[in-house]
A = this chain, B = another copy of it.
Amino acid sequence: MAIDHLDGALLELLAEEPRIGVLEASRRLGVARGTVQARLDRLQSNGVIRGFGPDVDPAALGYPVTAFATLEIKQGQGNDVRAHLTTVPEVLELHTTTGHGDMLCRLVARSNADLQRVIDRVVGFDGIVRASTAIVMENPVPLRIVPLVKQASAD
C-alpha cells in the first residue's frame, strides 16, 4: 500500500500519456518490462488504480452546466433518497456529509433552464426537506491526482 518512487513515476506517466503500453512505459522509466508489469499488477490489486475508464466530458456530451446541490434529508430517509438519486442520470456523484443529515451531489444539465428541471426531479422526493444549489461558473482546478501522487511517493 505504500507507494514508492517508481510507482509514483509510473502513475504520473500513465496520467500524462495513458495510451502508452507496458513496453513503452518500461523504456521511459528505464526499467525492465517485467518490472512495470509487476508494478501495474500490484497497483491494480492494491486498489490504487481502480481502472482506466475513459474520461468523458459531460460538456461535450451536451451537458455544459455543472452544479452542486446540498440536500437536507429527513431522518431515516437516507436510503430512499440515495435510491432515488441513483435513478437520475444527471446526478454524477453523491456524498453524505457531516452536518444536519446532509448530502452533497454533483449535477449536470443541458442549460440553466434544464438545470431547473433536473433540480425539480432531484428534490421532487418526499425525503428531501430542502436543497440549496451552487452553479459552477469556472473550474480553475479540474479533478487532478498527480500532485497527490507526487506527495504520496515522496516518502
| A contact residues vs B (CB 8 Å cutoff) | 1-3, 11, 14-15, 18-19, 46-63, 66-68, 70, 82, 85-86, 89-99, 102, 104-106, 108, 134-145, 147-152
Contacts and interface: CB of A to CB of B under 8 A. Distances in A.
Given A48-B56, A52-B18, A62 B152 contact: yes
A15 B53 contact: yes
A98 B96 CA distance: 22
A92 B145 contact: yes
26 contacts: A3-B62, A18-B52, A47-B59, A48-B56, A48-B57, A49-B56, A50-B55, A50-B56, A50-B57, A52-B53, A52-B54, A56-B148, A61-B148, A67-B97, A68-B104, A70-B134, A91-B141, A92-B148, A93-B139, A93-B144, A94-B141, A95-B137, A95-B138, A96-B138, A97-B136, A104-B134
Contact of A61 (B3, B57, B105, B142): B3
Contacts of A108: 148
A61 B136 contact: no
Report copies per complex.
2
A19 B136 CA distance: 33
Contacts of A55: 49-53
Chain A contact residues: helix, strand, loop or mixed: mixed
Given A61-B148, A61-B149, A144-B92, A56 B139 contact: no
